[in-house]
Amino acid sequence: MSLSSLQKGLILLDAVVEDGGRSSVASLARSLGMPVATAHRHISALVAAGYLSSAGYGRHIAGPRLCAMVQKVDEKQIITNVAAPILNRLAAKTGCVVQLGTFENDMVTYRLKTGESAGELFTKVGMQLEAYCSGIGKVLLAHLPAPLQKAYLATGPFPALTPHTITDSDLLKDELDRVVHLGFALDCPSSEHLAQIAA
């Protein structure tokens, strides 16, 4: 199947950005199995449009227009947009409030909240809470890569925000292991809750 001109241009753009200005157009074209003349034609068009910039000696790097475009991409908002219809269906099916949060700077940012009683919860889209004392936060912490989780736990002990807040790093680690095992977390589990879960 032959590639369209647009496909060839995008493949070449991807290759140039990944290469980071180390290789010439001719070298990239050969590695892609693309005629050098075709590659030069696409590169010229991408430079003219501002998506690439010349780095000299036949090499190119990301241009100002591509860099500006990347700055506008909010991957967390993309996740929210993709997840919204799924979470809406889940809320309708379960009759529960469903929320989506993302982990950033040791905090949970609430990105989406849906369900019949969503307005009754204190959380709001855009608000941030400490990860260690929120259910969403504990789920996110529990599934962090081990080195990142260890680094987070090393910042403890954590301030108590409720009478049931887990403030000790070792106890929080135990709770995160429990979250992985159970598949869910509670905002501020009491000892009674934990005993019921363990049973």
CATH number, domain of 182, equals 3.30.450.40
CATH code of the domain containing 17: 1.10.10.10
Residues 6+ apart with CB under 8 A from 126: 109, 110
What integer pLDDT is reported at residue 189 of this predicted model?
A: 52
User: Cβ-count burial of 24 within 10 angstroms (0-12 exposed, 13-18 middle, 19+ buried)?
Assistant: middle
Distance CA 103, CA 78 (A): 15
Structure tokens at 157: 């002990």
Verify that 60 and 94 share a domain, yes or no: no
pLDDT score of 153: 95
Q: Are residues 159 and 100 in the same domain?
A: no
List the one residue out of 48, 11, 2 whose CA is nearest residue 29: 11
Confidence at residue 37, expressed as pLDDT on a 0 to 100 scale: 95
* Residue pair 139/185 in contact by the 8 Å Cβ criterion: yes
Question: Do residues 136 and 87 both lie within one domain?
Answer: no
Does residue 168 sit in the same domain as residue 181?
yes
CB 113 within 8 A of CB 124: yes
What's the pTM? 0.65
- Give the mean pLDDT per block of 10 residues along the chain (199 residues): 79 94 94 94 95 93 93 87 93 91 92 89 90 92 95 92 89 94 77 46
First to last CA, the chain: 60
Predicted local confidence at residue 2, as pLDDT: 53
Same domain flag for 168 and 117: no
Q: Which of 31, 52, 70 is the last residue of a domain?
A: 70
Residue 136's pLDDT is what?
93
Report strand pairing: 107-114 vs 52-56: unpaired
User: What element of type H or E holds 103?
Assistant: strand 98-104
**Domain membership of residue 147 as a residue range:** 131-199
